[in-house]
């Protein structure tokens, strides 16, 4: 569309405002502050249970990092059920952190990991 106006009947109406250039909008995004201080919530590293510590190899982890590492392990060891990708076939190492279950749904992973993170008081 060459111009931002079209003629309808007797007059013209503006249908669209001129678009901002992508360079102007991307430079505004880069000037925003990057960090807001210490992480909190699910991003805050906290002490984990001995079973999860053994699995992760670290005494502290954030909830998001723990879920990421579990998924890396699942993908590296090809533990997803090929017929149903929503299902994870647990090996002995995963059974230690997933309460001894043989199969776990992928939506259950975060729920089962919550028992390894103590409540903050």
- pLDDT score for 10: 63
Domain ranges of the chain: 41-116
Query: Over the stretch 104-115, which tens digit does the pLDDT of each residue have?
Result: 998 999 899 999
Whether the Cβ atoms of residue 77 and residue 70 lie closer than 8 Å to each other: no
Q: Is pLDDT above 60 for 31?
A: no
**97 neighbors 55 (Cβ within 8 angstroms):** yes
CATH number at 41-116: 1.10.245.10
Residue 29 DSSP one-character state:
H
Q: In 3D, which of 64, 121, 55 has the Cα closest to residue 92?
A: 55
pTM for the model stands at 0.65
Residue 30: pLDDT band (50, 70, 90) is: very low
Per-residue confidence band for 35, with pLDDT thresholds at 50, 70 and 90: low
State the burial class of residue 45 (Cβ atoms within 10 Å of its Cβ: 0-12, 13-18, 19+).
middle
């Amino acid at each position: 569309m060459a111009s931002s106006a079209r003629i309808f009947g007797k007059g013209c109406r503006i249908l669209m405002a001129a678009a901002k250039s992508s360079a102007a909008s991307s430079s505004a995004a880069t000037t925003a502050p990057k960090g807001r201080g210490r992480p909190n919530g699910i991003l805050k590293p906290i002490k984990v249970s001995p079973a999860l510590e053994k699995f992760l190899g670290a005494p502290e982890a954030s909830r998001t990092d723990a879920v990421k590492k579990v998924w890396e392990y699942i993908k590296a060891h090809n533990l997803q059920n090929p017929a149903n990708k929503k299902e994870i076939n647990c090996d002995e190492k995963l059974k230690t952190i997933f309460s001894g279950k043989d199969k776990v749904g992928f939506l259950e992973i975060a729920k089962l990991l919550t028992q390894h993170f103590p409540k903050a008081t």
